[in-house]
Structure 1
Amino acid sequence: MAIVTRTISMLNFIITSSALTFQVTVLYPWHKQLDDSFEALKKEHVSLLQKLDRFRAHEAKGIKDQVGNMMKEEM
């Protein structure tokens, strides 16, 4: 019975060590790469939102100017 218990303990240790090695050598670097890519994507998103806001402000000013010109022509 002691041999079975010892074998199961050793098998558990081997599986756990393998899982930890996989996490450290494969998953962590991959996670870091994904995190860096996500940060770059967030920066690009913020940049595009700022460009869109400037475009909308410029477009709104143009519409306001056109409405003002139409109002002057009616008078």
Structure 2
Amino acid sequence: MIFTRSVSLTNFAVASSALCFQVFVLYPWHQQLDDSFEELKKEHRQLLQKINNMPLPSSEKSAATAANPRP
């Protein structure tokens, strides 16, 4: 009886500690990572937008049109 009771209390303590760790450490860290990832995606979109709007130098334009002539 005493052994069973001590195992049950130990199990409860370990489970409670694990839950507290998840709630108070991992979840805020996950939120921080998610916010950082969203910021990175926004910067990446802006960079792609800048790259797509950049004009090609004349040497690259002639090479690009020679490689892909329009009908």
**TM more than 0.5:** yes
Which protein is richer in helix relative to its size?
A: 1
How far has the Cα of 1:44 moved from its partner? 0.4
Q: Which structure's CA Rg is the greater one?
A: 1
Q: How many residues align?
A: 61
How far has the Cα of 1:38 moved from its partner? 0.3
Indicate the percent of aligned positions where both proteins have the same amino acid.
57
TM-score of the aligned structures, taking structure 2 as reference length: 0.77
5 Å-filtered alignment, 1:35-46, equals: 35-46=34-45
**Gapped regions of structure 1 (runs ≥ 5):** 68-75
RMSD of the alignment, in Å? Answer: 1.7
5 Å-filtered alignment, 1:1-75, equals: 2-55=1-54, 58-59=55-56, 62=58, 63=61
**Gapped regions of structure 2 (runs ≥ 5):** 66-71
AA aligned to 2:43 is E
Corresponding residue SS for 1:59: coil
AA aligned to 1:59 is L
CA distance in structure 2 between the partners assigned to 1:49 and 1:9 by the alignment = 57
CA distance in structure 2 between the partners assigned to 1:42 and 1:12 by the alignment = 42
